[in-house]
Each structure stands twice: as C-alpha cells, then as structure tokens.
C-alpha cells in the first residue's frame, strides 16, 4: 500500500455512507443472550441494588419478558434463580428437584413461546448455604462428588425443557460427565455451552447480590481453588480445548471486557463459536459512567463496549443491556 499523501485513510471516514459501507463489525439483536433473575412469590419486580434497570422477576412477569425478547428478536434467555435461604443446604439438593424455581421458570417460558431458547446455569452456588459451586468435603470443593450432582442437575433441567445447559462450576471433567448423562437419557440434542474460561473475578459481586448467593463460607474464602487465575491466558486455552474435546457445543469466556484477549485467542485457535459474558460488575461500571454523560451519548457508550466483543471474535454476548440494545437497534436501522 502506498503511503501518504497518496493513501489517506480519512477519505473513507469523512462521509456517513462510506463509514456505514466499510463497517467491519455489526451488532444485531440475534447476537444476544438476555440474562434474567427469577424469584418466588407475588408482587412487583424487585429492583437490584447496584444494577439499575435490572430486576428480580416473579414467574408471572416472565410472559412480558418473553414477549419483549420475541418482539425485539433476542433468540435466547438465560435464567438465574434467586432463592430463599430456607431451601438451601450444604449440598444444594434443591437443584435436583423437578419442581424447583428454575424448572418452573423453564416450563413457564416454553409455555409462552416454545421457540425461544432457554439457557440455564449448571452450578450449585445459588443452591448451597455456603455459596460455592460444588459440595465441600474435607475443607475443599470436592470435584468428583460435585460431578455427579451437576450431571443430575443438567438432566433435571433437560426434563423441564431447557435448550442449553451452561456449566459454570469449573470442575474438571464436568462436560464429559454431563454429555454422557444427557446422551444416555435421550437428550443427545440438548446443547452445552461451557463456561470454559471462567476467572476468579471480583466483577461478579453484583451478581451474587442479585441472585442472593450466600457469602462464601465452608472454610474457603474465595473460589480461586477452582476458578481461573486472572494472570493466566495459556491455561485458558487448555481449559477451552478440554471442554471442546469433552463435547461442548459452544464455549464462553467470563468476565467479558477485561478478557477480550482470551476470546480472541480462542477464536483464532478453535473452529468453535465463542461467547462472552459482560458480567454484572461491568454492567455496574458502565451504568456509573452513563450517569455522568448526556443522554445522547449513553447508547453510543453501550454500543462501543459491546462491539469490542464482536471484534474479539464472539459469536454472541450475554449482557444485561441485551433488551435495551436490541430495542434501539430495531428502531435505528
């Protein structure tokens, strides 16, 4: 390519039509998975501290959420439970009950629209009294004992009608165990999205408040013994490769924006759809900045943050902004 002054890259940026014509990455409503929090009882949706615009929904509110997603072209909902402490215990056994909150939420959504995708989290943190993703034995999370429970949890959600199970626990061997159980029980078409590179991040704090996940206890102060070290990137590629080998249909990197380099490396290394999760702490930070901006700049800020996922190679994005962005995209075309 010849240099300046023959080559002037600004030429293509000076007019709106040429900027649109040469746009490399675009967001569409179908790029999104919309995370929803569900809780028991009646009454109004419950606002969540620190996550403006995000609510704990009763099952009766799911109809409006499903219809909104359907109207705006959001293909998939991810459903997370907000449980009362009285149904939690050390082994998270409520996760295996056929009538638990998530099973009823899946059935409610499918009764409204059987074609919308329902993704459910596979982990025990929202079900355990200690807040960890697996069962604790001898002062540590017992990997192999947890696998059996996660497999049963996946089968429970499959029977309720889930479309995608998303193991977020970071136990070794969970994808192989879950895939085998699903296949043996007639659910070979059910998809697995593996939280393949899930880092031990402080950015999950607002989620734990939103989901009423109990403060970590049980002798373990954090999740560093099973979630990934934020300093490591080569290890993430090994985790992703193992999950693909064990039968994952898609893989996810979590959190999102601080780990765009991991998404890009995964995109370049594997012929596999990569998803990114713009987590609750990222949402909170963006909301804080939005509060300082003129209203005319707020949507541009959100779009800039989300486009970074597409540049990194993501096939899709989990974001609490999913509905708002899809709504704006559909009206600004």
Three-state secondary structure call for residue 175: helix
* Distance separating alpha carbons of residues 33 and 277, to the nearest angstrom: 9
* Distance separating alpha carbons of residues 246 and 251, to the nearest angstrom: 12
Catalytic-labelled residue, pool 88, 223, 254, 310: 254
Q: Could you confirm whether 71 is annotated as catalytic?
A: no
* Distance separating alpha carbons of residues 81 and 76, to the nearest angstrom: 17
Residue 303 CA: distances (Å) to CA of 49, 54, 57, 257, 322: 24, 18, 26, 13, 11
Catalytic-labelled residue, pool 63, 67, 107, 198: 198
Cα-based angle 281, 72, 33 (whole degrees, multiple of 5): 40
Q: What is the dihedral of CA 44, 48, 52, 57, to 10 degrees?
A: -40
Q: What is the CA radius of gyration of the chain?
A: 20
Cβ contacts of 294 within 8 Å, gap of 6 or more: none
Helices assigned H by DSSP within 31-126: 62-72, 101-112
Answer yes or no: are the C-beta atoms of 317 and 275 closer than 8 Å: yes
- Residue 329 has phi, psi (to 5 degrees) of -60, -40
Q: Could you confirm whether 63 is annotated as catalytic?
A: no
How many Cα atoms sit within 13 Å of 165 on the Cβ side?
A: 30
Known catalytic residues are 198, 254
């Amino acid at each position: 390519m010849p240099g300046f002054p023959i080559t002037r890259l600004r030429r293509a940026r000076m007019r709106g039509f040429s900027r649109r014509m040469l746009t490399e990455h675009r967001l569409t409503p179908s790029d999104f998975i919309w995370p929803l929090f569900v809780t028991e009882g009646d009454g109004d949706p419950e606002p969540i501290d620190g996550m403006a615009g995000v609510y704990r929904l009763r099952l009766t509110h799911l109809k409006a959420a499903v219809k909104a997603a359907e109207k705006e072209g959001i293909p998939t909902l991810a459903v997370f439970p907000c449980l009362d402490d009285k149904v939690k215990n050390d082994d998270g056994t409520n996760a295996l009950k056929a009538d638990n909150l998530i099973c009823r939420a899946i059935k409610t959504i499918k009764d409204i629209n059987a074609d919308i995708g329902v993704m459910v989290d596979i982990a025990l943190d929202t079900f355990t009294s200690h807040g960890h993703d697996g069962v604790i034995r001898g002062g540590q999370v017992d990997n192999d004992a947890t696998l059996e429970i996660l497999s049963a949890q996946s089968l429970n959600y499959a029977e309720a009608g889930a479309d995608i199970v998303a193991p977020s626990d970071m136990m070794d061997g969970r994808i192989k165990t879950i895939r085998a159980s699903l296949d043996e029980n007639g659910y070979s078409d059910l998809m697995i999205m593996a939280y393949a590179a899930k880092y031990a991040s402080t950015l999950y704090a607002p989620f734990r408040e939103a989901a009423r996940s109990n403060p970590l206890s049980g002798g373990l102060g954090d999740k560093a013994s099973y979630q990934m070290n934020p300093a490591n990137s080569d290890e993430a590629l090994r985790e992703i490769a193992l999950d693909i080998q064990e039968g994952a249909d898609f893989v996810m990197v979590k959190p999102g924006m601080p780990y765009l380099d991991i998404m890009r490396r995964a995109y370049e290394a594997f012929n596999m759809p990569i998803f990114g999760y713009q987590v609750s702490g990222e949402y909170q930070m963006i909301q804080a900045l939005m509060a300082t901006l003129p209203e005319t700049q707020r949507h541009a800020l959100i779009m800039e943050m989300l486009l970074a996922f597409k540049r990194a190679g993501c096939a899709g994005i989990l974001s609490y902004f999913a509905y708002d962005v899809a709504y704006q995209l559909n009206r600004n075309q």
